[in-house]
Amino acid sequence: MFTLERTTSLEQVVKKSRFLATAGPVASEQAAKDFIAAHSHAGANHNCWAWRVGQVSRFSDDGEPGGTAGKPILQAIDRLHLDNVAVVVTRWFGGILLGSGGLVRAYGGAAAACLRASSLMEIRILREATIETTFSDLALVKARLVGFEGAQVLNESFTEAGVVILAALPEATAGRIVQMVTDVTSGRARIALSPGPLRRSVPRQTSRT
C-alpha cells in the first residue's frame, strides 16, 4: 500500500475543456475535506473529487452526470493501491459536450495521470518494540534485527545494566523477530511490543508507472 509524498498537479485539455487534477496525501477524513476545499476553484464549472482514508472513501460528481466523475477518480486511486490520498479534478467547460463515456475517461484519466506523476511513499504497518539487552549481546541483537526486511533500529539508550533498543518491526513478522531475539540471547533480553500497530510512510525510490 502506498500514499503520496507531496501534493502534485497536472493539467489536461479534452475537446477544449480544461481539466486540472490535484492530488495529495491526507492523514484523516477532516484533512481530506480540508484538502478538497483548498484545491477547489470557485470560478470553475465543476470541482469533482474523491478520497480514501483506510476503509473510508467518499466522492462527488459536483453537478456532472452521476457516476461520470467522482467514481472514476476514486477508481484511479484504488487501482494504484493508494491510501490516505485525496484528488480534486477541476473542469472549465470548453463548449463541447463529452458525453457520459467521455466524462468518465476525462476525469478518470486526469486523476490517474496526476497520481502516476506523483512521488510515492510506501505505507508500512509496524509494531514498536522496546528491547532491553546486555552490552555483550548488543551487536548480535542489532545484526539479527536488521537482517529482517523492514525492521529498523530507531534509538539506543545506555543504562547501568545494559542497553535499551527502540525498534520498529513489520507487523507480519514481529512475533518471529521477538522469538529470534529471545533465542539468540538465551532469554537474557526483555522485549515489550506496543499494544497496537503503527502506520509509517517510507519514501519509494521511483514514481508509480
Distance linking the first and last C-alpha atoms of the chain: 15
> How do residues 6-17 score in pLDDT, each as one tens digit?
999 999 999 999
- Mean pLDDT check: name the lowest of 38-42, 46-50, 172-176, 204-208: 204-208
> Which residues on adjacent β-strands are paired with residue 12?
19
Q: How far apart, in whole angstroms, are the C-alpha atoms of residue 195 and residue 137?
A: 26
Phi, psi of 123 (to 5 degrees): -95, 120
Phi, psi of 17 (to 5 degrees): -85, 135
Q: Please indicate whether residue 172 or residue 44 has the higher confidence score (pLDDT).
A: 44
Average pLDDT over residues 129-141: 94
Average pLDDT over residues 138-155: 90
Q: Kindly report the pTM of this predicted structure.
A: 0.75
Provide the sign of the torsion angle of the four alpha carbons 28, 30, 35, 36, taken in this order: positive
Domains of the chain, CATH where assigned: 2-118 (3.30.230.30), 124-203 (3.30.70.240)
Q: How far apart, in whole angstroms, are the C-alpha atoms of residue 120 and residue 15?
A: 31
- DSSP-assigned letter for residue 65: P
Q: How far apart, in whole angstroms, are the C-alpha atoms of residue 185 and residue 90?
A: 59
> 3-state class of 94 per DSSP?
coil
> How do residues 68-123 score in pLDDT, each as one tens digit?
999 999 999 999 999 999 999 999 999 999 999 999 999 999 999 999 999 998 88
pLDDT at 209 over 50: no
Instruction: Report yes or no: 159 and 83 within 8 Å, Cβ to Cβ.
Output: no
pLDDT of residue 202: 65
pLDDT of residue 171: 87
> How do residues 12-68 score in pLDDT, each as one tens digit?
999 999 999 999 999 999 999 999 999 999 999 999 999 999 999 999 999 999 999
Q: What is the DSSP pairing of strand 46-53 with strand 2-4?
A: unpaired
> Which residues on adjacent β-strands are paired with residue 169?
127
Instruction: Report yes or no: 170 and 125 within 8 Å, Cβ to Cβ.
Output: yes
